[in-house]
């Protein structure tokens, strides 16, 4: 047996799997605990699906717990084995409480003998103890390769669905934090998790579920867009400072806008500047945050630069979601986590209590005791081109396309990563014809968002829609342009897709595009390791998904509309 087996992200060792230690820094112990937690979430889903469908037994808090725990296992979110042990214990308790209600109701309707036989292990298993070593051993037995005889295509499709659900869970959890809910999404997550344990489902059945995951992914992204914009306003075109100000600072990274709001409230009048990092950059475009004079701009680039950038920053650092990289000793004492994020030994800011804010006083105290940030760069970068902004000038966009001033849009969205091959995206951006406009969302933009690419008829050649969480804007813009041009097929639009992926939110974005019927997507820097040859062949055959090639070949093909 290998020490672990994980291939959910783009950094899977040798593009096969991490089998000794995760390239992300995940230990075998954490990998096994994650596998066990996901297996138990499938056990919860077993009872949730049957309770909801036949017995009128529903537990909304447990439904949300399933989504939160999927989010906790996303790449670069939580590396703390103690947190996983606690979550596993809660998962067993929640599953058994749901089981008790479902079996009691079943007994009332059908008699006790009809409700307790033939149950799968994940629906009933209870550990002898919650000692981490006991749980670790069980996790080794229930992971991805638990059944080595499973059809490779079935395994691949099951994992593709699970990873799409992880992305869906992340978007949904953010919306629920802002009190925007859709219980149908939570129900689907459980339905799909349960389906990944159903040996009667064929590969064709699972392909259908993959597309259904994409469909619900569109709804999850729409829900989060609604939550963010109704709470904080529609993002506005904004020039964001990338320099520093005198005085102590707090650097906030991740995706959770409510955490940012509460941090800004609690730092008012304290002489502390608050800077965004990584995926938090788009927050600078929301009207609600512009009222804070101490909201100072953005510091640094994408997630994988954080060891150097957090070291240079000098102040306190707050991680609100993934993507966390193993902290260096030089700044570990001023790094704080919150929400589902965790690192062993890092100070964790507790969840907010009902009607209250989180208590960020430890972060504030660390900032006041720390040195000032060191400047990395100067100037500004443009952001804030989400769907409301782009569609407000839709007439200009349409006219520019009709006149030929804009020949083509290129969606270069998704994730950034460490591999040198990702220089491809910088080179593509520079090599695109001057009449091509880039639509972007996610941290992939850090590969080209500081390039001086100019404008076309007053429209910037890089339209930054925001976080990976804001990918809904890209789909919305495409659908609105399709309607405006009176087209029947979204693939007839002058739009090409050159997507960079790293983790599971990008997987969901890909599935959402497939559901919307988008074809000819270039995906890089490599195709996912979890795609079996058979599943990859299906995606190529039906959707013309293709790996990236050379810059010259791909730019030529994009310009030719291929």
Could you write out the DSSP letters of every residue in 125-140? ---S---HHHHHHHHH
Tell me the residue range of the domain where 349 lies.
238-368
274 assigned to some structural domain: yes
Angle at 538 between CA 536 and CA 539, to 5 degrees: 65
Q: Could you tell me if 180 and 255 lie in one domain?
A: no
What's the angle, vertex CA 265, arms to CA 261 and CA 269, rounded to 5?
145
What does the pLDDT read at residue 1?
Answer: 72
CATH of the domain at 294: 3.40.50.2030
Question: Does one domain contain both 126 and 181?
Answer: yes
409 lies in some domain: no
Rounded CA separation 96/383 (Å): 47
Query: Can you spell out the DSSP letters for 86-114?
Result: HHHHHHHHHHHHHHHHHHHHHHHHH-GGG
The CATH number for 58's domain is: 1.20.1270.20
Residues 246 and 350 in one domain: yes
pLDDT in tens, the chain (562 residues): 799 999 999 999 999 999 999 999 999 999 999 999 999 999 999 999 999 998 999 999 999 999 999 999 999 999 999 999 999 999 999 999 999 999 999 988 887 666 778 899 999 999 999 999 999 999 999 999 999 999 999 999 999 999 999 999 999 999 999 999 999 999 999 999 999 999 999 999 999 999 999 999 999 999 999 999 999 999 999 999 999 999 999 999 999 999 999 999 999 999 999 999 999 999 999 999 999 999 999 999 999 999 999 999 999 999 999 999 999 999 999 999 999 999 999 999 999 999 999 999 999 999 999 999 999 999 999 999 999 999 998 899 999 999 999 999 999 999 999 999 999 999 999 999 999 999 999 999 999 999 999 999 889 999 999 988 888 999 999 999 999 999 999 999 999 999 999 999 999 999 999 999 999 999 999 999 999 999 999 999 889 999 999 999 999 999 998 8
Sheet with 546-547: strands ordered across: 462-464, 436-440, 408-411, 495-500, 521-524, 546-547
Residue 138 lies in a domain: yes
Pairing of strands 380-383, 238-241: antiparallel
Same domain, 43 and 134: yes
Residue 104: burial class (beta carbons within 10 Å; 0-12, 13-18, 19+): middle
Please give the backbone phi and psi of residue 154, each rounded to the nearest 5 degrees, phi first: -65, -45
Assigned token pair, 45:
């889903």
Same domain, 170 and 212: yes
Which sign, positive or negative, has the C-alpha torsion 222, 449, 260, 75? positive
Mark whether 193 and 334 lie in a shared domain.
no
The number of folded domains in the chain is: 2
Assess whether 114 and 153 both reside in one domain.
yes
112 and 139 housed in the same domain: yes
Residues 268, 356, single domain; the answer is: yes
Say if residue 213 is in the same domain as residue 292.
no
Do 370 and 316 meet the contact criterion of CB atoms below 8 Å apart? yes
**Whether residues 115 and 88 fall in one domain:** yes
Residues 65, 156 within the same domain: yes
Q: Which pLDDT belongs to residue 561? A: 87
User: Does residue 53 fall inside a structural domain?
Assistant: yes
């Amino acid at each position: 047996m290998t020490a672990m087996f994980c291939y959910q992200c783009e950094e899977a060792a040798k593009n096969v799997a991490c089998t000794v230690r995760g390239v992300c820094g995940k230990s075998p112990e954490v990998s096994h605990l994650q596998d066990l937690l996901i297996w138990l979430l499938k056990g919860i889903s077993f009872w949730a699906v049957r309770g909801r469908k036949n017995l009128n037994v529903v537990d909304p808090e447990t439904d949300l717990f399933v989504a939160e725990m999927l989010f906790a296992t996303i790449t670069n979110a939580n590396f703390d084995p103690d947190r996983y042990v606690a979550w596993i214990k809660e998962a067993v308790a929640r599953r058994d409480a749901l089981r008790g209600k479902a079996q009691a109701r079943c007994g009332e309707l059908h008699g006790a003998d009809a409700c307790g036989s033939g149950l799968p292990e994940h629906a009933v298993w209870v550990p002898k103890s919650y000692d981490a070593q006991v749980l670790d051993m069980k996790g080794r037995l229930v992971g991805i390769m638990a059944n080595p005889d499973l059809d490779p295509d079935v395994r691949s499709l099951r994992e593709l669905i699970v990873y799409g659900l992880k992305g869906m869970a992340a978007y949904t959890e953010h919306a629920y934090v802002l009190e925007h809910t859709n219980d149908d999404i939570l129900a689907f997550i459980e339905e799909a998790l349960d389906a990944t344990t159903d040996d009667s489902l064929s590969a064709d059945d699972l392909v259908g579920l993959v597309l259904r995951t994409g469909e619900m992914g569109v709804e999850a992204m729409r829900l989060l867009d609604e939550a963010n914009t109704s709470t904080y306003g529609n993002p506005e075109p904004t020039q964001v400072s990338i320099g520093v100000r005198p005085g102590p600072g707090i650097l906030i990274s991740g995706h959770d806008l409510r955490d940012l709001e509460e941090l800004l409230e609690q730092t008012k009048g304290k002489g502390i500047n608050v800077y965004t990092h990584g995926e938090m950059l788009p927050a600078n475009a929301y009207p609600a945050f512009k009222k804070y004079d101490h909201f100072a701009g953005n510091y640094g680039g994408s997630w994988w630069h954080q060891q150097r950038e957090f070291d240079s920053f000098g102040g306190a650092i707050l991680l609100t979601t993934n993507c966390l990289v193993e902290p260096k000793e030089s700044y570990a004492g001023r790094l704080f986590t919150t929400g589902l994020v965790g690192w062993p030994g890092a100070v964790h800011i507790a969840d907010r209590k009902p009607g209250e804010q989180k208590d960020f006083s430890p972060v504030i105290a660390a900032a006041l005791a720390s040195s000032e940030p060191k400047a990395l760069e100067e100037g500004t970068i443009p952001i804030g081109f989400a769907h409301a902004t782009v569609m407000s000038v839709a007439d200009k966009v349409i006219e520019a396309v009709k006149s030929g001033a804009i020949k083509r849009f290129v969606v270069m969205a998704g994730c950034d990563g460490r591999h040198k091959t990702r220089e491809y995206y910088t080179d593509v951006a520079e090599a695109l014809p001057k009449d091509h406009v880039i639509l972007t969302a996610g941290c992939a933009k850090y590969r080209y968002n500081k390039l001086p690419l100019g404008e076309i008829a007053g429209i910037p050649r890089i339209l930054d829609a925001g976080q990976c969480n804001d990918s809904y804007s890209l789909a919305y813009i495409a659908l609105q342009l399709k309607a405006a041009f009176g087209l029947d097929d979204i693939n007839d639009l002058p739009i090409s897709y050159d997507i960079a992926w790293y983790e599971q939110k990008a997987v969901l974005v890909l599935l959402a595009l497939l559901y919307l019927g988008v074809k000819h997507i270039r995906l890089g820097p490599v195709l996912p390791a979890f795609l079996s040859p058979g599943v990859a062949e299906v995606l190529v055959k039906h959707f013309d998904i293709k790996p990236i090639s050379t810059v010259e070949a791909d730019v030529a093909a994009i310009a030719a509309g291929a």
